[in-house]
Structures are given as C-alpha cells and as structure tokens.
Amino acid sequence: MSRNLPVVPRPAADRPDLLRPTRRSTPSVSVGGVLVGSAHPIVVTTMRKTARLPRWIKIRMAG
C-alpha cells in the first residue's frame, strides 16, 4: 500500500538567505596595516620566513 503524501517545500531550500548565519557588527581595527573585523574578510597569513627546501633534500633528511 502506498500513499501519496503531499510534498511540503522546505523554507531553507526556497530561501537561501535563511541558510546564512546572522552576523553581529564589530569594530574594525588595523593589525599590522590589515583591517580586521566587521565586514572585512578573514585574512590568512603565515609566520614562516625560511626558504623552502628542495624536495630531494627533504626525502634524504627523512631517511
């Protein structure tokens, strides 16, 4: 026995803005000349200042 159930649309599927989390407004600050906070995108940086070793040296060092 199969029943025909009504299809109920999901609100989030019809309105993508419901999937986006609400964000609080925060103050913008400058960190090392880069603006952070509020509407500024996330900045990813690294602290590595050494030169990269060639691959064959890494393999030899690993044994």
For residues 31 and 55, give the distance between their C-alpha atoms in angstroms, rounded to a whole number: 34
Distance CA 63, CA 58 (A): 9
Q: Kindly report, residue by residue over 34-56, the tens digit of the pLDDT.
A: 888 878 888 777 777 666 777 77
**Is the pLDDT assigned to residue 63 strictly greater than 70?**
no
Per the domain annotation, does 31 fall within a domain? yes
The number of domains in the chain is 1
What pLDDT does residue 11 have?
61
DSSP H helices, the chain, are: 11-14, 55-62
* Cα distance between residue 52 and residue 54, in whole Å: 7
Q: Domain span at residue 41?
A: 11-48
* Domain assignment present for 58: no
